[in-house]
Structure 1
Amino acid sequence: MPIEVDLVDDTPFLPGALRARAEVLQDRFHVKVHARTWLDYDLDAAMSADVVIFKAELRDHVPAGLKVRALRRLGVAAVVLLAGESEPHRLQLAGEGATAVLSRASGYATLEDELLRLEADGARAVADDIDPPLLTDRELQIACIFASRAAPSARHIGELLDLSGETIRAHLQRARGKLQRSGHAVGTRNSLRLALYDAGLLFPES
């Protein structure tokens, strides 16, 4: 049986290339869903997928690390595509439970090889016995939104996530404290942005 693959990616060429190769290799993998944004992707649909491939730099309110965590909890293998080579980001995503973290610079053939490997080995999510993350889901989400180039206020983040401004500030304070204790400067929004980026938690905004 071919593995079922979902793709969440807004680049112009990858979806067509993946579907074309799936036609040739239809006994190995099948592209079930393609969405251009994470907001357009129905996470419930991921429960019927074997593998979800997604672009790490998607601009939305769900950091890449949280996407990996959500897929791992569903038992779905996450394959993350990075715009460029970045060891901190690769290590962080692998630590979150990504099955594979690939650079687009390595070319489509590397992605296809990974899908064929997953089909041969039996696609599965990374086991749950991974190290606890530095930040909780909410801490990571709120810190990344706050540190984004849009520079939203706590009130605006609260409106987005349906949480009070007080709750937003409390999560943000805890996230800053944890990052500071791990050796990062987080006193300003810009320093928090750099800390999250250096830790592999925040990605360049395209």
Structure 2
Amino acid sequence: MLWLGIRSVGRVSAPTVKPKRIRVHVVHESRMVAEAISVQLKTLLPGASVDGWTKSWETYVSRSGGVADVVVIDNELGNGGPTAFKVSSLVRDGTGVVVLGRSLYVPAIRRIYEAGAHAYLLPEEPSEAVAAAIWSAYRNTVLRPVRITELFGDSEPVAVPVLTARELQVVGAYVSGSGASVPETAARFGLSSETVRTHISHARRKYTGADGDSVSKMELRRRMIKDGWILG
């Protein structure tokens, strides 16, 4: 039985126990993805439905009101900060999280699971996998597809500097490929420039080398990508 709590029914899958109503919100640049998931759920997971779709993280945060039981989010969203930050924000509010991603970079996937994601799905996964992941997220259980388990292998995770959710959000935006300045980053999140500098200083201190030299903005970006905190 590949998916925990899911039994095979012909060519589809269904939960062994009929769930109550599960409200699903999709945060993805493509509305077609939300529509496809909606169609899949009608057949594969009775009781679950896509109640909303937003194109950006900022729009979801401003409009959602925390009404979703499970959020399906695109790992490649180019807004609102790193995926690990978004996941931790959702989990903190008691929301189940399923991440859809194309990246096979193991450190990045590890950071997403460590932040509290219930599943990380690649495009190659069958349609049944989405329903299974949503069902697991609703029950607050972790689902790790075979492909992800194979990528992780038997190796132990490498220790990396731990960034707080706020540091991850602010510093992730500051070192992003768009090259945001301190004032631009401050304006984006409604913070003072001094607060942004404090978060950057804390992150740099965590990445300071043995020689005590503080890392540059470019080096901080490189190391955060290497550790899987942000996408390259």
TM-score range, shorter chain: 0.7 to 0.9
Q: How far off is 1:107 after superposition?
A: 4.5
Instruction: Give the % identical residues.
Output: 26
Per the alignment, residue 187 of structure 2 pairs with: 159
Per the alignment, residue 73 of structure 1 pairs with: 92
List per-residue Cα deviations over 1:45-103 (Å, max 9, x = no partner).
36332211101121113321121111111111111111221211111111111111222
Q: Note closer, same or farther for the CA distance 1:134–1:15 as it changes in structure 2 (3 Å cut).
A: same
**CA–CA separation in structure 2 for the residues paired with 1:134 and 1:30:** 36
Q: Which runs of 5+ in 1 are unaligned?
A: 127-132
Tell whether the 8 Å contact from 1:9 to 1:54 is kept in structure 2 after alignment. Answer: yes
**CA–CA separation in structure 2 for the residues paired with 1:76 and 1:106:** 23
Tell whether the 8 Å contact from 2:41 to 2:131 is kept in structure 1 after alignment. Answer: no
Per the alignment, residue 28 of structure 2 pairs with: 9
Q: RMSD in angstroms over aligned alpha carbons? A: 2.6
Q: Secondary structure at the match of 2:80?
A: coil
List per-residue Cα deviations over 1:100-138 (Å, max 9, x = no partner).
1222233544223323445xxx52378xxxxxx811222
**CA–CA separation in structure 2 for the residues paired with 1:13 and 1:70:** 25
**TM-score for both structures, normalised by structure 1:** 0.81
Q: Does 1:136 pair with 2:155?
A: no
Q: How far off is 1:36 after superposition?
A: 1.3
Q: Report the structure number with the largest CA radius of gyration.
A: 2
Provide the aligned length of Structure 1 versus Structure 2: 193
Q: Note closer, same or farther for the CA distance 1:44–1:72 as it changes in structure 2 (3 Å cut).
A: farther
**CA–CA separation in structure 1 for the residues paired with 2:140 and 2:63:** 17
Q: Note closer, same or farther for the CA distance 1:117–1:167 as it changes in structure 2 (3 Å cut).
A: closer
Q: Note closer, same or farther for the CA distance 1:46–1:180 as it changes in structure 2 (3 Å cut).
A: farther
Q: Which runs of 5+ in 2 are unaligned?
A: 1-19, 143-160
Per the alignment, residue 178 of structure 2 pairs with: 150
| One-letter amino acid of the counterpart of residue 193, structure 2 | G
Richer in helix (by share)? 1
Q: How far off is 1:179 after superposition?
A: 2.7
| One-letter amino acid of the counterpart of residue 170, structure 1 | T
| One-letter amino acid of the counterpart of residue 30, structure 1 | S
Q: How far off is 1:195 after superposition?
A: 0.9
Q: Note closer, same or farther for the CA distance 1:192–1:160 as it changes in structure 2 (3 Å cut).
A: same
**CA–CA separation in structure 2 for the residues paired with 1:12 and 1:48:** 19
Moved over 6 A (4+): none
**TM-score for both structures, normalised by structure 2:** 0.73
More divergent stretch after superposition (12-21 vs 107-116): 107-116
Structure 1 residues 10-159: aligned runs within 5 Å: 10-11=29-30, 13-25=32-44, 27-42=46-61, 45=64, 47-118=66-137, 122-124=138-140, 134-159=162-187
**CA–CA separation in structure 2 for the residues paired with 1:136 and 1:17:** 35
Q: Secondary structure at the match of 1:134?
A: coil
Q: How far off is 1:146 after superposition?
A: 1.2
